[in-house]
Amino acid sequence: MNYRVTDSKSSLMGRIAVQQARLATLNEQLTTGKRINRASDDPYGAEAVINLRISQTEVDQFARSAETTYRKLITSDDTLNAYGNTLDKVRMLVSRALSDTTTPESKAAIATELEMVRAQVLTTANTKYGDEFVFGGTRQDAPPFDPVTGIPAATPATSQYIQIEPGANAIASGVTAEGLFSDATATIFTDLDAAIAAMRGTGDPVADKATLVATTSRLVVYDTQLNTARIRIGANMNTAEIVQERLDGHASAYNDLASSIEGADFVETAVAVSRAQQALEATLQVTATRQRTLFDFLA
Amino acid sequence: MSINFSSFEIARRALSAHQLGIAVTGQNISNVNTPGYARQRVQLEESLPSNVGGFSLGTGVSVAGVETFRDLFVESRLQTETGIAGRLTARRDALTPIEVALQGGESGGLQGAMAKFFGAFRDLEANPQSVPLRSVVMQAGEVLASSFRSTRTRIEDIQRATDGQLRTNVDKVNSIAEKIADLNGKIKIAEAIGGNANPMIDQRGELVREIAELTGARAVPNDDGTLTITIGEGRALVSGDVSTPLTIVNTPPNGFANIEINGDPAVFDEGVLKGLDEALTEMSSQIADLDGLAVQVVARVNALHSAGTDLDGNPGTNFFDASVPTTAANMRIDPLLAVNPRGVVASPLAQPGQNGTVAGEIASLMTDSATSIGTRSGSFTSIFAGMVSDAGESIRNAEDGLTTQAAIIAQVSAQRDAVSGVSLDEEAVNLMQYQRAYEAAARFMRVADEMTQTILSLAG
């Protein structure tokens, strides 16, 4: 028996609704540029995108830490570069004071200049980056050396370490003043104080000369400390720079991957929109066409 | 010679039968767009012959009844399929706002707040001495806590609205059940006295379709013309002309509706009520997951934070308030810490010196995969991503199910239309047939009348 065809319009209405829904989805994809606009569009894809975006955020965050570390290191490096020049100046002043041709008056003038240099070194040792003492390491409640007397802070410090890469060892964001401006025997300030006193004369010219000679050899110690510190800082700067570049690359890869999952292919979507529009128009046209029945022919 | 008036009777019967045929055709044409209408047809039969002068002579046509075209199997399938579609639609519509609540739109929602909070600790790790960064950490902590609170509030709001929908639909079911019971009574009487119950049967059919969509109920026909409407476990919503109303019991702790019938929990196999109930259960589990996540975030951040030292060298306190059991609804920064950003811990050192190890450890919690909440395990963010994905999957499944269901319903509806639907072409043919037959019967009556006139004139 043949299937009876009747005049019900319900299926046509259903088809219009389906076409409209399809067109709305495609339009949303086209205007947002995303294939996944809500989790239900592709639950597994959406979960992957969330996890990738979190990884990207984490990597971005580490890249920021690497950048901060690099800035701290470059501040240390710049400061130490100036400190190197200061040491050269100290060496020159001590050499001049050691010269037999230098008069006591000239020595006193050199001593005054050395006093100013000593103040510069003290400022250098207590340099700050934001709220932090650059050479304070983990001790940040007091400057490395007393700003007036130059006496070292009571609490010992160690270097600050910052993790700049997930899962990797933290790197030192600087060096401490202890290893730069002092050693087990003395600080640069006590050495400079002794040299200044010797230049001004203690009444014992032989002992004064010996003090200045000793200062010269102490300067070699500080030079060595400076060079060691700059090598360490330079190495860590390189590490921070390389890590930052690597992390930027990772972040960009995560972003590309997430975009490839959630992004809509523009051309493909545009073509699909045009097709969906045509299909809807055709359905509407069919619905709008007055279907003739036998009644039309009976008149 | 006698006059035979039986021809007049044959013509009269033919005229009235075909007039009725035209009326039924008109009824079909006028209901071509009426939902639930089943087409009708006049059943004609030959009248019993009379015996005249030893001959059996026909007495014309008589109307045996008006037949309605219904396929009970197809009708029952349509009810079942409509019930499934009702459940899926209700489930999808109730859960759709949840995924928006979880994803949080352009601002990034809870996921964005977590990234910012743990990111702020990462910044603090690199600048452990900074007071401004401590303020940033505090702000990010407050944003995270308020994101937890607002996400939970949104889900609760959606849950309350869904509960309201459930209650409205229960009222609707009770009202429809009453109408079906009423129609059952009328149909029973009409069929008992041989009246035309078809319009009432059509009306009842439409109501049964509605109640099936709402409750997944099944309709079982009885010999007296009534329908028994049953929900899950065979409990009768309508039996004869009596309907049993569904009742609502407010259940602690939220006061959400529990549906009962005759004092026992009502079970629905399909239908809107089942869909809404499933959505409510799912929302409760989403709230529990969110609470679990809040508890873990608070506990793990507090454990690290309280073991370190603040900017002034004081022992660390809790970062988040732990004075009352944590839920996503009451998560907030510890009130004492909230007014003292210097209290934010970055360092593990007892001395008032700073490095950022603790801040770094807190920052690393975001992707530390040692957290487990119920059946979920992983990092805070991957657990949350799983929650978003599950919510999306529930909706996707309902959507996919609905697409399939729409196709099934279209097919069953087409089957129903093939049996019960009105075809205007057919009706045009019927109309023509009845009209021509009526004209012919009228002509026949004129011939019979002329013959009678002829005989009468002979007598005159």
Q: Is B131–A131 a contact, with Cβ atoms under 8 angstroms apart? A: yes
Q: Out of A6, A57, A137, whose CB is closest to B115?
A: A57
**Could you tell me the pLDDT band of residue B437, with boundaries at 50, 70 and 90?**
very high
From B78-92, B132-146, B192-206, the region with the lowest mean pLDDT: B192-206
Nearest to A293 among B96, B413, B424 (CB): B424
For range A241-251, the mean pLDDT: 91
Query: With 0-12 CB in 10 A as exposed, 13-18 as middle and 19+ as buried, what is B375?
Result: exposed
State residue A148's pLDDT score.
85
Task: Specify the DSSP class assigned to residue B432.
Answer: H
Per-chain mean pLDDT for chain B: 90
Q: Which residue blocks in A177-265 are alpha helix, DSSP H?
A: 178-181, 188-200, 205-262
- Give A228's contacts (C-beta < 8 A, 6+ positions apart): A179
Residue A129, SS3 per DSSP: strand
ipTM value of the model? 0.75
* Chain B environment of A51 (Cβ under 8 Å): 381-382, 385
Q: How far apart are CA A235 and CA B193, in angstroms?
A: 106
Q: Is the pLDDT of residue A41 over 70?
A: yes
Render pLDDT for A187-222 as a digit per residue (tens, 0 to 9).
Answer: 999 999 999 999 998 888 899 999 999 999 999 999
Domain ranges of chain B: 6-69+421-459, 76-170+213-218+267-408
What share of chain B has pLDDT > 90, as a percent? 60
What tokens were used for B150? 């607002």
Comparing CB atoms, the residue among B357, B382, B393 nearest residue A51 is B382
Alpha-carbon distances, residue A6 vs A10, B28, B38 (angstroms):
11, 12, 12
pLDDT at B353: 56
A-chain residues near B381 (CB < 8 A)? 50-51, 54
Question: How far does B423 lie from chain A, in Å, by closest CA?
Answer: 4
Q: Say whether pLDDT at A229 is over 80.
A: yes
Q: What pLDDT is stored for residue B459 in this prediction?
A: 72
Cα A265 to chain centroid distance, Å, stands at: 34
Q: Is the pLDDT of residue A155 over 60?
A: yes
User: Is the Cβ pair B422, A43 closer than 8 Å?
Assistant: no
> What is residue A299's predicted lDDT score, i.e. its pLDDT?
63
According to the model, what pLDDT value does residue A9 have?
65
- Which of the residue ranges A275-289, B258-272, B361-375 has the most confident prediction, judged by mean pLDDT? B258-272
* Structure confidence at residue B289 (pLDDT): 93
Residue A28 domain-assigned? no
Mean pLDDT of B73-94: 92
What is the mean pLDDT of the segment spanning A61-79?
Answer: 92
For residue B429, pLDDT over 70 is answered with yes
Once rounded to an integer, what is the mean pLDDT over residues A107-118? 93
Q: Give yes or no for residue A156 having a pLDDT over 80.
A: no
The answer to whether A24 contacts chain B (CB < 8 Å) is: no
Q: Domain tally for chain A?
A: 1
Cβ–Cβ gap B393/A38 under 8 Å: no
The mean pLDDT value for B220-244 works out to 92
Mean pLDDT calculated for residue range B110-121? 92
Contacts 24+ apart (CB under 8 A), A80-84: A80/A180, A80/A226, A80/A229, A80/A230, A80/A233, A81/A230, A82/A124, A83/A121, A83/A124, A83/A180, A83/A226, A84/A223, A84/A226, A84/A230
- Of A84-88, B105-109, B320-324, minimum mean pLDDT range: B105-109
Of the pLDDT bands very low, low, confident and very high (cuts 50, 70, 90), residue B49 is: confident
Select from B103, B355, B384 the Cβ nearest to the Cβ of A160. Answer: B355
3-state secondary structure of B325: coil
Helix axes B6-30, B424-459, angle to 10 degrees: 160
CA dist A33 and A27 (Å) reads 10
Please indicate if any CB of chain B lies within 8 Å of the CB of A250: no
Average pLDDT of B404-431?
A: 90
Helix (H/G/I), strand (E/B), else coil: B239: strand
Q: Are A4 and B418 an interchain contact pair (Cβ–Cβ within 8 Å)?
A: yes
Give Dmax over CA atoms of chain A in angstroms: 142
Residue of B nearest to A9 (CA): B33
Judged by CB atoms closer than 8 Å, whether chains meet at B428 and A162 is answered as: no
Whether the pLDDT of residue B352 is over 70: the answer is no
A32 part of contact set with chain B, CB < 8 Å: no
Does the beta-carbon distance from A40 to B393 stay under 8 Å?
A: yes
Å between A297 CA and nearest CA of chain B? 10
Coil, helix or strand at residue B246: strand
At B348, is the pLDDT very low, low, confident or very high (cuts 50, 70, 90)?
confident
Q: HSE of B93 in the Cβ direction (CA atoms, 13 Å)?
A: 14
All residues of chain B having their beta carbon less than 8 Å from the beta carbon of residue A60 are: 119
Crossing angle (nearest 10°) for helices B131-192 and B72-103: 170
**3-state secondary structure at position B364:** helix
pLDDT bin (cut points 50, 70, 90) of residue B142 is: very high
Please tell me the predicted confidence (pLDDT) of residue B1.
53
**Which of 156-185 (A) contact B at CB < 8 A?**
157, 160-163, 166, 170, 173
- The sign of the CA dihedral B184, B188, B190, B191 is positive
pLDDT band (50, 70, 90) for residue B17: very high
Over residues B287-291, mean pLDDT: 93
Q: Quote the pLDDT of residue B414.
A: 87
Q: What are phi and psi of A152, to 5 degrees?
A: -65, 150
Whether residue B352 is preceded by a cis peptide bond, meaning omega within 30 degrees of 0, is: no
Q: Do the chains contact at B385 and A47, CB–CB below 8 Å?
A: yes
Cα separation, B91 vs B70, in Å, equals 32
Q: Is A149 helix (H, G, I), strand (E, B) or coil?
A: coil
Average pLDDT on B339-359 reads: 82
State the CATH number of the domain containing residue A171. 1.20.1330.10
Place of tokens 């037959």: B437
Nearest to B353 among A68, A69, A157 (CB): A157
Q: Determine contact, residues B247/B260, Cβ cutoff 8 Å.
A: yes
pLDDT at B343 over 80: yes
Q: Which of A113-117, A126-130, B42-46 has the lowest mean pLDDT?
A: A126-130
Under the banding of pLDDT at 50, 70 and 90, the label for residue A184 is: confident
Average pLDDT, rounded, for chain A: 89
Nearest CA in chain A to B92: A40
* Chain A residue closest in CA terms to B396: A40
Q: Which of B74, B396, B397, B415 to mutate to test the interface with A (most CBs of A within 10 A)?
A: B396
Interface contacts (A, B; CB < 8 Å): 176
Domain extent at residue A152:
75-257
The Cα of B348 is separated from the nearest Cα of chain A by a number of Å equal to: 11
CA-CA distance, A155 to A153, in Å (whole number)? 6
pLDDT higher than 60, residue B171: yes
Asked if the C-beta of A277 comes within 8 angstroms of chain B's C-beta atoms, the answer is no
Is pLDDT of A175 > 80?
Answer: yes
Q: Do B355 and A14 touch (CB under 8 A)?
A: no
Q: With 80 as the cut, is the pLDDT of residue B293 above it?
A: yes
Whether residue A90 contacts residue A117, with contact meaning beta carbons closer than 8 Å, is answered with: yes
Q: Which residue of B has its CA nearest to A1?
A: B418
**pTM higher than 0.90, yes or no?**
no
Sign of CA dihedral B440, B442, B448, B453: negative
Q: pLDDT tier at A2 (50, 70, 90 boundaries)?
A: low
